[in-house]
Amino acid sequence: MSTPPPRALLYGDVDLNIIDGSAIWAQSMAQALAAAGCEVTLLLKAPVRTDRLVAPLAGAPGIRLLRPYEDKLVPDAGPRGLTPEQAVSLLVSRHERTPFDLVVVRGKRLAGLAAQEESLAGRLWTYLTDFPHAVDGLTATAVAELTEIALASRFLLCQTEELRAFLESSVPAACGRSVLFPPVVVVPEDARADGQVHARARLAYTGKFAPAWNTLEMTGLPAALERRGVDAELVMIGDKVHADPADWSKRMRKALENTPGVDWRGGMARADALRASAECDFGLSWRDPSMDASLELSTKVLELGALGLPVVLNRTPMHEAMLGADYPLFAGADLDSVAEVVARAYHDRSVYADAAARCREAAGGHTLERAAERLRGHLAEALPPAPAGTDAGRPLKVVVAGHDMKFFTRLAEYLSSLPGLDVRMDEWEGLGTHDQYRSRELAGWADVVICEWCGPNALFYAKWKRPDQRLIVRLHRFELYAEWPRKLDIDKVDAVVCV
């Protein structure tokens, strides 16, 4: 009898009507989970007003869309999409109806609420981005929130090694749960740059229009490049213009609509946006210096690189590690620095080819196939096969007993995750303080007893051990100088595990 595929429930607190990095994440995550062999249910946040991101998923094998508005799953849903409270309520109700093996969520507020749901504990795979990326921004409240999320999560999915290292060093509960899951790049086969620089250079920007993304400043590039002898056009794709501040929003729209050399194409399906970008010569991911401290990696850098385009971006330690400290298209804080590096690559084709090759190589580790491979590894760890000799129809009954489980927590989680095992905990109040009636009941129930510490717990379970029962004692240094090991009937112990 074949094992059924893992069932994954996916929700990001993002609107798939708007093309930006977070919406692309939801689409890519659904595709990657399906490619890893999961049956994926993607809960949408908002009513579908445009199917640019949804359409590629609607007919994909292994992916099912849950449309709360169209299917009237939430009677009081507002026009702007589900609130985190409504979304978590839906996740819980779906899971309780037919349990999922993993529940993947994105959004700190959403994850904080999900972490409080007992039914989701241990099944959450939390993708963390929206929390402070500097020590001085991590308040005690923020650390407490992240700790609660970490303790309820099977995995914390981190976009970069830098993010994982910072999270684990700041939130001890994240240690051992944080795993790397970089951005996923899915590029259509027919979307590839030809490697040639056109007489009129085209620069591509895709995504949202926001102050920190330097999108208003970018509209000055055609004029700045013309002053350097480069005939250039800026192709801008996207329809999400940040409304705050209102004055900036008005200026952004005016620049998109009226600036000579700027070709604003509005929103597009992801594949169409990539095809349009592939017809350009340069990609843009130049941002305000305030963004340099981010520990996240822009998906658009990787997408543009996968197309074969060299990308203009800020010099940061992460970007240097990815592209090399001597990457030729690192730009400074002002527009002129962007124009200078573009003009240099335009006039020197060896510089252009070098930059394009580095971006293409960097993107190579972020394909859908690589993402599916990573997920299969995480799935194998989270959902291990049943141990040899066990029968899911008649689980092996395991008791873990001890007064202090701090060194056994992850082992207990692993044992509990194994099919074919029924694991129960006998947590003693102190070294010799426990509910004797419950311990006696568990001793009679268990097939296997694991005593954490060779203390009074080991003496108790050795006393009540049956001939057909296995007793395993985990010995620490603490007990070596006490009386318990000498009093233990070692003939009753099947194995002593030394830490």
Alpha-carbon distance values, 382 to 6, 385, 400 (Å): 10, 10, 20
Q: What is the mean pLDDT of the segment spanning 483-498?
A: 95
Per-residue pLDDT of 445-490, as tens digits, reads: 999 999 999 999 999 999 999 999 999 999 999 998 899 999 999 9
Is residue 251 classed as helix, strand or coil in its secondary structure?
A: helix
Query: In the 8-state DSSP scheme, what is residue 478?
Result: G
Per-residue pLDDT of 413-436, as tens digits, reads: 888 888 889 999 999 999 999 999
Residue 357 in this model has a pLDDT that exceeds 50: yes
The fraction of the chain above a pLDDT of 70, given in percent, is 100
Q: Determine the pLDDT at residue 5.
A: 93
Q: Determine the pLDDT at residue 1.
A: 44
CATH for 7-180 is: 3.40.50.2000
Return the CATH number of 201-368, one of 3.30.70.20, 3.30.1330.60, 3.40.190.80, 3.40.50.2000.
3.40.50.2000
pTM summary value: 0.76
Per-residue pLDDT of 88-117, as tens digits, reads: 999 999 999 999 999 999 989 999 999 999
Q: Determine the pLDDT at residue 63.
A: 96
Q: What is the mean pLDDT of the segment spanning 311-340?
A: 96
Per-residue pLDDT of 123-167, as tens digits, reads: 999 998 877 777 777 889 989 999 999 999 999 999 989 899 999
- Compute the distance between CA of residue 104 and CA of residue 369 in angstroms, rounded to an integer: 19
Per-residue pLDDT of 271-295, as tens digits, reads: 899 999 999 999 999 999 998 888 8
C-alpha closest to that of 253 among 261, 264, 91? 264
Comparing 350 with 134, the larger pLDDT belongs to 350
Give the domain ranges of the chain: 7-180, 201-368, 396-498
C-alpha closest to that of 25 among 205, 174, 155, 207? 207
Alpha-carbon distance values, 69 to 13, 62, 87, 91, 180 (Å): 15, 22, 12, 15, 33
Residue 207 in this model has a pLDDT that exceeds 70: yes
Strands annotated E in 207-343:
232-237, 262-266, 282-285, 311-314, 330-331
> Average per-residue pLDDT in the chain?
92
Same fold, 7-180 and 201-368: yes
Task: Confirm if 161 and 319 have CB atoms less than 8 A apart.
Answer: no
- The CATH class of 396-498 is alpha beta
